[in-house]
Structures are given as structure tokens and as C-alpha cells.
């Protein structure tokens, strides 16, 4: 039965396929059900891992940048405080200027050469009566010189000039003359001669009498020369010295621990009374400043500040005001100190010495009285460095006045007990100084520990130098002077051991010690002159920097190592333009060894590869990342610096940040 066998075989085949399909279906269902149990949870776990990794990295980044955040917060707060202070003062100045514009302008006091000038009529007695002759008059308040130039209205020409030194100026009594607006002048060399002048108006006469320290007539008594300054003006005389010494002695005897010393203001009436008694020789002997109930410390300190503020000229003089502001704006700390040191010896040195010594003692107790050096600078900056004219620019310069006072306080022993450094001659030989500048307390705050390369002797703003994550390691660099030939490197700083904080990029760069150690010569050129145009130095070598490589890095992918310190630029303040090229006949050969890499440069064209990240901090300096190629490399007149081209820009490159390519 072939047909039945064929049907049975077909049925058996269909049954086999059905069973196979059923088993595969059940297997797939079981597989799907089982995969549900772990795939869903696996997705959730992956999300949780990613979520936690994100927050962990965010935490690590936040920790790394926390010093920068705090520093930025401090800078913003300080900038806001400066803005608020200058805004109030600028607004006050604006109101004064608007009020002055509403008033009639006074043309007689616009000239700075003379205190006042303008037309006056001089009374001349003649045989048949009196005549009034028009004169153009000028007066200098400093030397009390009065100049009269007769003016002929017919021809409009000036004639001979008459000069005299003024002894007194008295308003003319109205009932003694038929003219109005008159006043009398008495020359110093001719007391018996009186000049009667007529002003153009009552306001004009008032201005003339104010500038000449005029006074009202004494009825029935002859006019006497004016003696002494106006009561609101004080003189820096022996009485003032005695008063200042007495106030300082009493304040220091009370301990200097009262909070807000020199910041808390005393009662105005008591301050005025103390000034009037303290500056009067007859009353000063009866003054008992030791009585703490009658004379509080804030009254004494306010009187001392008021006396200094009301001096006819500030203690640090109008003449050197701009010089002090320029010194405070210098980038280098040592240059700022040297400039202030030199200028301080040209001032009222004895009084300034007494005052700054006292302020140094006050700052020494800042933990109790809360008067730090910066607070004292705020209190005494505008007092000691008062500008001659109140302008918006002067208001913006107040913070630099405070910086000058801070420098005086922090460097008291150096500025007032030592002679200022002599000016460096252009061809002078280097004379090392035996004193290193004291380190300011306000500049001793620890810098952020990441993303920064700290240069020796550098106290400027903190600068980011790399986009990579960096770690911290300490390197102790011994700086010694190598022998040189035909090169003069004047330096005012001694060779000393520096503790330099170094930072490395993410690339694994190792600086290893060798059997032949090298020496690196770092020259502090803050006060040096320009390097001689020709000459060659003997081979200098760079000490292999002792570096500790951490086996357990502080963070993922971070390796602790050292970055060399860039040489300081010259003190001449010259920034070479991108088109600058040294003379072709100049040959300057310097050698540097960084680990196993030795570099030697001549005046020829070279290519170098950067080893570390660097951010150009001044004009004319290149910024670069590790493993970049710099072309057209030449020597420059800046010791320790080369000149090259990167990405079409030409500038200076630190010599110890690169290696020579063949």
C-alpha cells in the first residue's frame, strides 16, 4: 500500500515539525520571561551607575575648583565693595559739580599759576582829587606776591608791572569812602603805604579777600598784619609734633586692644575741643589726656586723624601724589616696595616715621582690635595721600592710596630704618643685596592648589595654565650663580633657596635624578638692566629637580610631578613686539638640562617642542599646551626666554619649558 505509507510518512514529518516549532516557541517564551528579570534591572542599574558617576565627577570637579570658587567669590565681594564706595563718592562729587555749574563761574580762580587774577581799580590821590585806574591784578597765595599791571583802555596795552609782598588785607569801611566794594592792601616792605582797591562786585571783593586771608576792619585801631593760618588749617610745626606724640603715647598706653581703633569716630564737639586745646601752647599744659573718662580713645584717634587731614598740604605732599599712585600700580611687589622706599625719604620723614611706627604697633594687635593692615590703609590712605583736586579719577585712585599705606606699615623697618636702594646704572656690575624684601602678610594667603604654575618671586594674580587635570608636588630648588663670561646680569635679590609649588599636566612626564646633577640659575631681574647686546655665557646647567612620584595618585589619571619655574622678565618693563628680532651678530648661548634632555641654543633658526602647559602672563608671551611645535625659534634679550612662532603668532617662550628638535 504505497499510498498509505506515503501519507503516514507525511503525517509523521508534519508532527515532527509541529513538535519542533512548539518546543522553540516554549523556549522563546521562557527566554523572554527570564530576560525580563535581569535586563530591566540591568538598565536601572546602568542608569544608577551613570547617575552616581556623574554626581561623583561633579563632586570631584567641585572639590578641585573650590579654591577658585572661593577666590572668585572674594574678588567679586571686594569689587562690589569698591564699587559701592566709589559710587557714593562719585555721586557726591557729581552733586557738587552740578551745584557749581548752577552758580556763576568764577573766571579769576581758573588759572593754577595764580591763586586769583582779575581786574581791580586802584585809587590814586592827586592834587585836584582822586582817580581810579584800572589794573589787571594777580595774586599767588603761596608766597603772598601781589602783581598789578596798569591797563590803558584807550590803547588796550599793558604798561609797567608793580609787584609787592602782601602783609595784610583789610576790608574798607563803607562810611570812610564814597565807593563800594573797596579793600586796603599793605605791602610788607612798606608798612606805611596803603593801596586802596575797588572790586567789580561784592562777590568779587569777597573772593579776593578770601584768597588773600583778608579780615574785617578794626574800628578805632590800626590794621595789623594777619598772623597764623585759618582755624580749619593746621601747620606741621613743633606744636603739631608734640600733639601727635602725646596722642600716640596715650593710645599705646591704653593697650591698643580696643576694637575699631581709628575706625570708630569720636564725638565732633569733643574732637574740636581737643584740637583747639592740644594745638594751643598755653592750654596744652593743662590738657590731661590720661583721663579716660573725659578723653576716650576714639576721641583722641579722631583728633589725630583730623589734624593730619586738615594740614594745608597732606603729609605725603601733593608733589609726590602721582608718583605714589604710579608706584602702587606696579605689577611687581619688590618694585612697588622699592619705589615707595625711595619716595618716603623725600617727604616729611620724621612725622611719617612716628605715625607709621604707631600704625605698625596697632596692626600687631589686630587679633584683638580687628584693625588689620588693610583696614588701617583704608583709614589713613585718603588722609595721608589727599589729592589736590577732587575728581572721579582721584576717587578711583583711593584704593592705590590705601596700598601705599599698607606697604609703609608692612615694611616699616626696611623703609624707615634703611637707606633707599641706589638707582642702578646701565652698565653696573651686579651687587647682591644682603637683605631680602619682607614678605607681606596680605600676600601670604595660600594659592589654589590646581591648574596653576607658580613662578618664583611672582606675586601677581593667579593664572590658569592648562585645560588638563593637574596634581600638586613640592620641589626644593637650590639656585646658585654659575660662572659667566662677558654677560652682566645686575640683580638686587640674593641667591636663596625657594620652596616652589609645582604642577603637572595629565601627560606622564617624569623628571629623574642622574649621577651628574645639573644646576639651574634663576636670576631675579626685577631691578636689573637690559642684558648686554653681545657676549656669550659659559655652559649653564639645570639641576635635575627632585621629584616625588606618588604611587597612589590623588585622583583618577593624575600623576604628581614638577614643572620648572619660568625666569622673571627684565625690570625695564619692555615688552617686545611680535616683529622684534635681535641683531644677527648677537650670539647668546645658554644650556639647560631637564632630566635627560639637554638644550643648547644659538642665534640660528630652530624648532622646539613644548614640554609643559604655559599661559602668557604679559604682552608678547606665547601660550601653549604640551607637545606643540614652535618654529622660527631664536634667542632674545630676555635671559631665560626664547622667541618663536606658534599658530602664526610670534612671542617669547620660557627656555626651560621646551626641548630642541633635530
> Structural domain boundaries of the chain?
112-211, 238-417
pLDDT at res. 165: 92
Burial category of 337 from C-beta neighbours within 10 Å (exposed 0-12, middle 13-18, buried 19 and up): buried
CA–CA separation, 563 and 356 (whole Å): 41
Greatest alpha-carbon span in the chain = 179
Helix axes 321-328, 398-410, angle to 10 degrees: 80
SS (H, E, C) 502-542: EEECCCCCCCCCCCCCCCCCCCCCCCCCCCCCCCCCCCCCC
Domain 238-417, CATH number (from 2.70.170.10, 1.10.10.10, 1.10.555.10, 3.40.30.10): 1.10.555.10
Residues 255, 256, 257: CA angle, nearest 5 degrees: 90
Please provide residue 165's backbone torsions phi and psi, each rounded to the nearest 5 degrees: -95, 125
pLDDT averaged per 10 residues in sequence order, the chain, 662 residues:
82 93 93 88 91 92 91 90 86 84 63 84 84 90 90 64 90 85 91 90 90 77 40 67 92 88 90 89 82 88 92 88 91 90 87 93 91 92 87 85 93 90 52 38 37 36 35 36 38 36 35 36 35 34 35 37 59 41 40 40 67 83 90 84 88 89 81
Burial category of 43 from C-beta neighbours within 10 Å (exposed 0-12, middle 13-18, buried 19 and up): exposed
CATH class for the region spanning 112-211: mainly beta
CA–CA separation, 472 and 446 (whole Å): 13
Helix axes 398-410, 373-384, angle to 10 degrees: 120
Helix or strand or coil: residue 597? strand
CA–CA separation, 432 and 495 (whole Å): 8
Helix or strand or coil: residue 319? coil
CA–CA separation, 166 and 195 (whole Å): 11
CA–CA separation, 244 and 310 (whole Å): 14
Say which DSSP state 231 is in. Answer: T
pLDDT at res. 82: 85
Burial category of 554 from C-beta neighbours within 10 Å (exposed 0-12, middle 13-18, buried 19 and up): middle
Cell numbers at 191, concatenated? 608798612
* Residue 257, CA distances (Å) to 252, 260, 299, 300, 363 in order: 9, 9, 16, 15, 10
Cell numbers at 465, concatenated? 595654565
Say which DSSP state 107 is in. Answer: G
The DSSP secondary structure of 241-308, one letter per residue, reads HHHHHHHHHHHHHTTS-STTTTTS---HHHHHHHHHHHT-HHHHTT--TT-TTTS-HHHHHHHHHHHH
Amino acid at each position: 500500500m504505497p499510498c498509505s505509507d506515503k501519507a503516514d510518512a507525511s503525517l509523521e514529518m508534519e508532527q515532527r515539525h509541529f513538535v519542533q516549532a512548539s518546543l522553540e516557541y516554549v523556549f522563546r517564551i521562557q527566554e523572554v520571561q527570564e530576560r525580563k528579570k535581569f535586563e530591566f534591572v540591568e538598565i536601572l542599574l546602568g542608569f544608577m551607575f551613570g547617575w552616581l558617576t556623574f554626581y561623583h565627577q561633579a563632586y570631584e570637579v567641585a572639590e578641585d575648583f573650590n579654591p577658585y570658587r572661593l577666590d572668585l567669590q572674594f574678588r567679586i565681594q571686594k569689587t562690589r565693595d569698591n564699587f559701592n564706595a566709589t559710587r557714593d563718592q562719585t555721586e557726591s562729587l557729581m552733586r557738587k559739580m552740578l551745584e557749581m555749574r548752577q552758580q556763576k563761574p568764577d573766571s579769576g580762580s581758573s588759572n593754577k599759576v595764580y591763586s586769583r587774577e582779575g581786574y581791580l581799580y586802584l585809587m590814586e590821590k592827586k592834587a585836584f582829587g582822586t582817580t581810579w585806574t584800572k589794573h589787571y591784578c594777580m595774586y599767588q597765595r603761596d608766597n603772598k606776591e601781589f602783581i598789578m599791571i596798569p591797563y590803558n583802555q584807550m590803547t588796550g596795552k599793558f604798561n609797567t608791572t608793580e609787584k609787592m609782598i602782601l602783609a595784610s588785607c583789610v576790608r574798607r569801611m563803607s562810611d570812610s569812602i564814597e565807593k563800594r566794594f573797596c579793600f586796603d592792601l599793605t605791602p610788607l616792605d612798606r608798612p606805611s603805604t596803603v593801596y586802596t582797591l575797588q572790586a567789580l562786585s561784592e562777590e568779587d571783593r569777597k573772593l579776593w579777600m578770601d584768597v588773600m586771608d583778608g579780615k574785617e576792619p578794626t574800628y578805632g585801631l590800626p590794621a595789623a598784619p594777619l598772623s597764623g593760618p585759618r582755624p580749619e588749617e593746621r601747620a606741621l610745626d613743633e606744636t603739631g609734633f608734640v600733639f601727635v606724640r602725646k596722642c600716640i603715647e596715650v593710645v599705646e598706653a591704653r593697650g591698643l586692644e580696643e576694637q575699631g581703633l581709628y575706625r570708630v569716630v569720636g564725638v565732633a564737639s569733643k574732637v574740636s575741643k581737643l584740637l583747639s586745646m592740644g594745638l594751643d601752647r598755653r592750654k596744652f599744659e593743662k590738657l590731661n589726656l590720661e583721663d579716660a573718662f573725659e578723653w576716650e580713645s576714639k576721641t583722641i584717634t579722631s583728633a589725630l586723624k583730623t589734624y593730619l587731614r586738615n594740614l594745608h598740604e597732606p603729609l605725603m605732599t601733593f608733589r609726590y601724589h602721582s608718583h605714589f599712585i604710579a608706584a602702587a600700580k606696579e605689577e611687581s611687589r619688590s618694585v612697588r616696595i622699592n619705589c615707595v622706599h625711595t619716595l618716603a625719604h623725600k617727604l616729611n620723614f620724621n612725622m611719617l616715621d612716628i605715625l607709621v611706627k604707631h600704625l605698625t604697633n596697632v596692626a600687631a594687635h589686630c587679633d584683638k582690635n580687628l584693625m588689620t593692615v588693610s583696614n588701617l590703609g583704608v583709614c589713613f590712605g585718603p588722609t595721608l595721600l589727599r589729592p589736590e583736586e577732587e575728581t572721579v579719577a582721584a576717587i578711583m585712585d583711593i584704593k592705590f592710596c590705601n596700598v601705599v599705606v599698607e606697604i609703609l606699615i608692612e615694611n616699616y623697618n626696611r623703609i624707615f630704618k634703611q637707606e633707599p636702594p641706589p638707582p642702578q646704572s646701565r652698565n653696573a656690575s651686579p651687587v647682591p643685596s644682603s637683605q631680602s624684601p619682607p614678605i607681606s602678610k596680605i600676600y601670604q594667603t595660600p594659592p589654589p592648589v590646581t591648574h596653576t604654575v607658580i613662578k618664583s618671586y611672582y606675586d601677581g594674580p593667579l593664572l590658569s595654565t592648562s585645560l588638563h587635570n593637574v596634581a600638586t608636588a613640592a620641589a626644593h630648588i637650590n639656585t646658585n650663580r654659575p660662572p659667566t663670561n662677558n654677560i652682566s646680569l645686575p640683580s638686587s635679590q640674593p641667591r636663596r633657596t625657594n620652596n616652589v609649588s609645582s604642577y603637572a599636566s595629565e601627560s606622564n612626564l617624569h623628571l629623574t635624578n642622574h649621577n651628574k646633577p645639573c644646576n639651574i640659575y634663576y636670576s631675579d631681574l626685577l631691578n636689573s638692566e637690559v642684558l648686554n647686546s653681545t657676549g656669550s655665557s659659559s655652559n649653564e646647567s639645570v639641576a635635575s629637580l627632585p621629584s616625588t612620584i606618588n604611587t597612589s595618585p590623588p585622583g583618577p589619571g593624575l600623576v604628581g610631578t614638577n614643572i620648572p619655574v619660568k625666569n622673571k622678565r627684565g625690570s625695564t618693563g619692555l615688552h617686545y613686539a611680535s616683529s622684534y628680532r635681535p641683531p644677527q651678530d648677537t650670539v647668546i648661548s645658554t644650556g639647560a638640562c631637564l632630566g635627560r634632555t639637554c638644550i643648547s641654543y644659538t642665534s640660528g633658526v630652530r624648532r622646539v617642542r613644548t614640554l609643559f602647559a604655559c599661559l602668557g602672563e604679559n604682552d608678547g608671551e606665547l601660550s601653549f599646551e604640551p607637545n606643540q611645535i614652535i618654529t622660527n625659534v631664536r634667542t632674545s634679550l630676555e635671559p631665560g626666554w626664547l622667541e618663536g612662532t606658534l599658530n602664526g603668532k610670534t612671542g617669547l617662550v620660557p627656555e626651560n619649558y621646551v626641548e630642541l628638535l633635530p
